[in-house]
Structure 1
């Protein structure tokens, strides 16, 4: 059972074998100390029983105390070694995990669910750390200490040694049976915990939409139902844990009692000296102690193993390899980007470990509510299929296009990983279908459409997070398979709806792209981003610490920090905005817009938005509907022409923008 809780990925980390070797050496020394401690205590008890002088106890007492101190020194040393190594491994995993999420982009959150990803990043790493702290020393103790004690007892009295030897497999047998049950329940509990986190976080994120649709009360019941299932699974795990502890204690007590009976009978019959009997009886509890301690911590190690397996599976998940060969000097006034016949579909969400999790992947509570509301209004049959969370879900109309062809589009040639992604994508409806567009020089392009039209999908594709499975891409004469190209990404700035804010100072967050920027440059970028008023209210200014995930700051302040990052790195000429003001109130949005417009000059700006007031400030409009470009042109050409943009304006109550025609 001990080997069953060792995840093979643990051996991928540097120094694990050296640490295990050092822990094994300390366990061996500790086992010898236990034997020496028992030897001194048995000698002292025999001297007392024989009513010898007190002076005869000095030697046994020194022997006992010396080995007792050394034993606990070894125990402390093992704890420190395993604790430091646990922190080291967690420190190694964290940047790998963050880099993986950064490379995958919004697709990582869409496929796993926000709550599940947060659980993996926060609780998962803590569980991995605890897993290593517990597993390594307990494993070496169980393998070495019990064996050394058995040899010591057998050396003094083979009958007692035989009893201990026969009881050990019985305890292991019941540990295996209960361990299998615990593993099954622990896997289910971990999966249910991910479901609960995903449901809860997605419900919080979608709460405004839920309240607007009047279905927020229904999701109270959904959260309650999921939390109840998690509670029941937790109770099941606790039942097995208590049963396991009881079984271990009971069989340990039984083994010691049987040995004590045999020792007592032989002492009464005068067939055995007192010292070996006392020595064996003192050693018996320590013989069973390592396996009992391992059993007591078995459930914690299972949680850590599940977390480690989940994290390493995510890190090892396939991704489109980055193109580092293409040479490109950046976007200039005469640059041109052509996209022709681009098709993209989200891959089918894979089922995580455990049960009841298949329906969680790639679902957003708020967007599910929108779809359900529309389906109820249209009196259509419910369909749970959806696209990714970040504005990539299809509305009810898009279901009519799920069978639309991919055969007529020319597939993009890719390597093995790219083909695997394309093969997966063919099983899903198109989020983008036959998208063609041509960008030339500097300018501001607004990508307009309803929720679910594919705006965020297109921006994420341009950022390199989504890989098209059909179509062609040409950048200044360079043929690209996708936008996961080092030269392209070096010259773009991507600002999502919720910018990434990490735990640190405001200045550190602004230096996100340029870590070695001077204080003067950071101050200048903060000034241009409109942060002066806010920073003036802070005692420490740019050195003020802010929390992970925007804790301690507003959405508008987070967006301005993201803008300061763009301003700090002057080498990025392409700006990609995905609904940069979607979650802000009107006043904050208006102030932020005044900051944004000067930044957009002399850049290629692609702005995905459903806020119609941006139409007055852009050079070109692309109207998306059901993943297709249904109209394109300048605002003056499209507004009032009676096309899809006018229809969208009417649906969204934007008829007041007639001034844009002037």
Structure 2
């Protein structure tokens, strides 16, 4: 996934937030209005408190002080209400922005296609869409409101102080820039360590997902302990990065508090000396002294809350990178169309392709830094086309190209339509070497993506896939937990067959569907696949088993010498 430079300067608010999350626009308007009201309340509170104290010192009776104290209590209540309103607005905005960005992220991944996704870690993308966007709550709930409060409140309070006592106003004006200077320096350090922590978390997620996925293989070869040790090392690295972030956060908080305290102390000393020599009245001095901390507070809190929001900021950068890539891809596709690119524009609907022939001519799949040798074959409805050859010859890469997960040169047409102009889900039913099952029932896995599941078709698909003994209502765990490897593989094959039976895919592509089956079950599976083809399906089959030749109408052999070194 693209990463921003950890040392590059960053605007307080990324303009792309307003572009990709429309809910943030109304949030800024509402939070600015609340910040203005809070500033007025702060000034009113300082003035009323000053009046109450000076009146009490002058000996004013309690009865005459009652209205001032009443107004003071009302101002305190209004200030509390405004704080509640700010929290409520921020929480609602954060929830809406999270929803919008997640939806935009899913749409962007869909637009970029499986080829783009295959080159990136799905685990790190899941972390970004999950925990990363969840961290926006701190960004919207603490950092952005405090940032707006600084922009609105600090200048207004400074103007009021200057109006009442220009010396105190000038002191604040001269000392105030010290806080932003240190904030920038601290922010650069914080951003760097936060980015490293975020990248380590994504690395940990990817490593853990890969380890769990290959755990059975690792256990067979006695390498599970080494894999566990690797995950433990990354976890320990994440712990160290987290502690480094906390250390920087605490030190920066101390620094900002120290600077603000020193600045307020300078104002207080100046007021004290002028009160002694009579150059300043008690009312003005107390009023300005009460406002001085409020002038520094918003800016100080921005620095403090930046750390709480840093994880959300890092996640949004990853999300924006994906959304920018989708926009660039869309613009590139439009530009390619204008320049007569050989890649056609997507069709709004799939034509009647069930009787169409799949024709592949000089297909060269991009793999790594090179390309596989050209491959040509033709598969018509009612036939089984077998792709065979040693491991690494590029058989699965051909399937990846057809389903849009790998780039290729040459042509691949179905019924005269370029397959690159069609969504794979509209014409291809595919079962890969990894079953890719989800938590839920077996029936739910078989009918995945069908808005109106057909119970009879589920039973037929399971029967053709030699999985009729499995209960469609059986609940599975994550990644199909509860089934053996062979059973999970047959459910995946049944899912592909079901899509064809429902008329959703004229072509069925099966990648090593019998690799985990015994000879007897494999023979039954071949018979099921043959009967599916006899009923009109275009079947593409990859298998190392020589027994697959018995049901094949066409055999396409890939030699190991054809794979570039």
TM-score of Structure 1 vs Structure 2, range by shorter chain: 0.7 to 0.9
Q: Per the alignment, do residues 89 and 473 of structure 1 end up closer, same or farther by CA in structure 2, a change over 3 Å counting?
A: same
Report if the CA contact (8 A) 1:339-1:435 is conserved.
yes
Question: Which residue of 2 is the match for residue 338 of structure 1?
Answer: 359
1:4 aligns with 2:26: no
More divergent stretch after superposition (570-579 vs 169-178): 570-579
Report if the CA contact (8 A) 1:44-1:60 is conserved.
yes
Report if the CA contact (8 A) 1:503-1:547 is conserved.
yes
Distance 1:507 1:48 in 2: 79
- TM-score, with structure 1 as normaliser: 0.70
Report if the CA contact (8 A) 2:457-2:502 is conserved.
no
Aligned residue among 557, 574, 597 for 2:507: 574
> How far did 1:247 drift?
0.5
Question: Which residue of 2 is the match for residue 83 of structure 1?
Answer: 91
Query: What is the RMSD computed on CA atoms of the aligned residues?
Result: 3.8
1:461 aligns with 2:386: no
SS in 1 for 2:376: strand
> How far did 1:164 drift?
1.9
Q: Per the alignment, do residues 293 and 339 of structure 1 end up closer, same or farther by CA in structure 2, a change over 3 Å counting?
A: same
Question: Which residue of 2 is the match for residue 196 of structure 1?
Answer: 204
Report if the CA contact (8 A) 2:388-2:395 is conserved.
yes
1:178 aligns with 2:186: yes
> How far did 1:487 drift?
7.2
Question: Which residue of 2 is the match for residue 323 of structure 1?
Answer: 345
User: Which digits, 9 at most, give the CA deviation of each residue in 1:100-146, with x for residues without a partner?
Assistant: 43455553443222432222232232234543444431221111122
Question: Which residue of 2 is the match for residue 633 of structure 1?
Answer: none
Report if the CA contact (8 A) 2:381-2:538 is conserved.
yes
Report if the CA contact (8 A) 2:433-2:511 is conserved.
yes
Q: How many residues align?
A: 532
Q: Per the alignment, do residues 97 and 159 of structure 1 end up closer, same or farther by CA in structure 2, a change over 3 Å counting?
A: same
Report if the CA contact (8 A) 2:132-2:312 is conserved.
yes
Aligned residue among 29, 36, 58 for 1:50: 58
> How far did 1:24 drift?
0.9
Q: Per the alignment, do residues 16 and 587 of structure 1 end up closer, same or farther by CA in structure 2, a change over 3 Å counting?
A: farther
Report if the CA contact (8 A) 2:114-2:404 is conserved.
no
> How far did 1:599 drift?
5.4
Report if the CA contact (8 A) 1:528-1:595 is conserved.
no
> How far did 1:451 drift?
4.2
- TM-score, with structure 2 as normaliser: 0.81
After superposition, residues 306-385 of structure 1 pair within 5 angstroms as 306-317=314-325, 319=329, 321=333, 323-325=345-347, 329-333=351-355, 335-346=356-367
User: Which runs of no fewer than 5 residues in structure 1 stay unpaired?
Assistant: 347-386, 388-427, 539-545, 631-662
User: Which digits, 9 at most, give the CA deviation of each residue in 1:129-168, with x for residues without a partner?
Assistant: 5434444312211111222222222233222222222221
Aligned residue among 378, 390, 395 for 1:438: 378
> How far did 1:74 drift?
2.2
Distance 2:63 2:501 in 1: 80
Distance 1:30 1:219 in 2: 55
1:524 aligns with 2:456: yes
Report if the CA contact (8 A) 1:35-1:149 is conserved.
yes
Distance 2:128 2:245 in 1: 20
After superposition, residues 405-444 of structure 1 pair within 5 angstroms as 428-430=369-371, 432-444=372-384
Question: Which residue of 1 is the match for residue 339 of structure 2?
Answer: none
Question: Which residue of 2 is the match for residue 608 of structure 1?
Answer: 542
1:534 aligns with 2:471: yes
Q: Per the alignment, do residues 629 and 167 of structure 1 end up closer, same or farther by CA in structure 2, a change over 3 Å counting?
A: closer
Aligned residue among 262, 265, 275 for 2:270: 262
Distance 1:282 1:595 in 2: 87
Question: Which residue of 2 is the match for residue 107 of structure 1?
Answer: 115
Distance 1:164 1:41 in 2: 21
SS in 1 for 2:97: helix
> How far did 1:250 drift?
0.6
Distance 1:275 1:589 in 2: 94
SS in 1 for 2:51: helix
After superposition, residues 560-599 of structure 1 pair within 5 angstroms as 562-563=495-496, 566=499, 569-579=502-512, 593=525, 597=529
User: Which digits, 9 at most, give the CA deviation of each residue in 1:456-484, with x for residues without a partner?
Assistant: 32112111232213x23344345x3xx22
